[in-house]
Amino acid sequence: MINAASPEQAPRADVLTLPRAAQIAPARAPRVLAVANQKGGVGKTTTAINLGTALAAIGEDVLIIDLDPQGNASTGLGIDRRNRKHSTYDVLAGETALRDAVVPTAVPRLAIAPSTLDLSGLELEIGQARDRALRLRNALSPLKTSAAGQTHFTYVLIDCPPSLNLLTVNAMAAANAILVPLQCEFFALEGLSQLLKTVDSVREQLNPDLTIHGIVLTMYDSRNNLSGQVVADVRQFMGPKVYDTIIPRNVRVSEAPSYGKPVLVYDLKCSGSEAYLRLATEIIQREKELCA
Ligand code: ADP
Ligand code: MG
């Protein structure tokens, strides 16, 4: 008899596949985190790529939005410039729906809306428009309801440019919370108060629920006494907002983008990959506390 097996003996196909977060929990609006710091070279893009990959590895459905005209997140995830048919420029210019700019990456459950250099001209083009600061938020709103047959993202990470310009303001206006990478160097805290002031004014004028999700210390070098001092200073200044996880300086992390791969794919066992996996777990934990 074909149907002899009892329901207990006949596992459903979806039990055999890695569960998607959206299948475990009822569909909720994606959590939107803006990775922001107006300083360049502090680890924003590296964090967007590798935190995104780590969240996807844990079962989340992740979309990275590349909001830096340099397009480093897109390149670092192996998206060739020729394959950026629709970009975040087209989305913010109002010419393309965000869905149509999303391309899959080689990492399961991780997609990206890539950027191109056109994005650097956007501010001049839309600077006078009334909705200029809300373009990304408006573009994201259709993602909050999952259409049949389309991926329902559980996390959106926005990789911001190294500036407090209109692009970063768009990211802050669209986000639930901000994630700030700080490099373990002497001037780590320099500029932080300016960043926090910008967050305050976006909260007042555009996005009343905006919070600081957390501060992640990056490029920590245990051989350098200064790194330890910076960690102590930042923890004293920002208290529990600083994640427990610290990202070490690790050459594998800096090599991975030239292969178009996240470090978790390039070398899963290296200290950088392990740290980004810990950070993802910590972020999910903090999310549970924030959303409880
Ligand atoms: P941002 O996006 O803030 O400008 P990036 O993420 O591009 O910063 O990082 C700046 C540089 O530092 C890049 O060359 C990157 O590969 C390198 N880098 C970032 N994080 C690490 C790390 N943990 N260990 C070693 N190099 C890193
Ligand atoms: Mg960057």
Residue nearest to atom 19 of ligand 1 (CA): 43
Atom of ligand 1 at shortest range from CA of 37: 3
Average pLDDT, the chain: 90
The Cα 217–Cα 242 span in angstroms is: 8
Region 165-194 average pLDDT: 94
Any atom of ligand 1 within 6 Å of the Cβ of 270: no
Residue nearest to atom 10 of ligand 1 (CA): 41
Residue nearest to atom 5 of ligand 1 (CA): 43
Region 153-159 average pLDDT: 97
- DSSP at 249: P
DSSP string, 60-104: --EEEEE--TT-HHHHHTT--GGG-SS-HHHHHTTSS-HHHH-EE
**Of 4-8, 58-62, 70-74, 106-110, which range is least confident?**
4-8
Question: For 27-62, how does the pLDDT look when each residue is reduced to its tens digit (9 = 90+)?
Answer: 678 999 999 999 999 999 999 999 999 999 999 999
Is residue 237 over pLDDT 80?
Answer: yes
- DSSP at 168: H
The Cα 210–Cα 200 span in angstroms is: 9
Between the CA of residue 121 and those of 52, 72, 118, 210, what are the distances in Å?
A: 27, 17, 6, 27
What pairs with residue 103 in β-bridges? 112
Smallest-distance ligand from the CA of 70: 2
Atom of ligand 1 at shortest range from CA of 257: 16
Residue of 35, 42, 46 with the most ligand 1 atoms within 8 Å of its CB, for mutation: 46
pLDDT band at 143 (very low <50, low <70, confident <90, very high): confident
Amino acid at 29: A
Give the chain's end-to-end CA distance (angstroms, integer).
49
The Cα 183–Cα 249 span in angstroms is: 10
Say whether 189 sits in a helix, a strand or coil.
Answer: coil
Q: How far is the CA of 272 from the centre of ligand 1 (A)?
A: 11
The Cα 6–Cα 259 span in angstroms is: 49
Is residue 13 over pLDDT 80?
Answer: no
pLDDT at residue 144, as a whole number: 82
Any atom of ligand 1 within 6 Å of the Cβ of 179: no
pLDDT at residue 87, as a whole number: 97
Smallest-distance ligand from the CA of 68: 2
Place of tokens 């048919």: 85
Question: For 96-123, how does the pLDDT look when each residue is reduced to its tens digit (9 = 90+)?
Answer: 999 999 999 999 999 999 999 999 999 9
Is residue 150 over pLDDT 50?
Answer: yes
Q: How far is the CA of 36 from the centre of ligand 2 (A)?
A: 9
Any atom of ligand 1 within 6 Å of the Cβ of 250: yes
Atom of ligand 1 at shortest range from CA of 42: 3
Is residue 277 over pLDDT 90?
Answer: yes
Strands 211-220 and 242-248 come out as parallel
Atom of ligand 1 at shortest range from CA of 247: 23
pLDDT band at 290 (very low <50, low <70, confident <90, very high): confident
Residue nearest to atom 22 of ligand 1 (CA): 249
Q: What is the pTM for the complete model shown?
A: 0.91
- What number of other Cβ atoms are within 10 A of residue 129's Cβ? 11
In 3D, which of 176, 175, 165 has the Cα closest to residue 136? 175
Q: Identify the helix (H) or strand (E) that includes residue 139.
A: helix 135-140
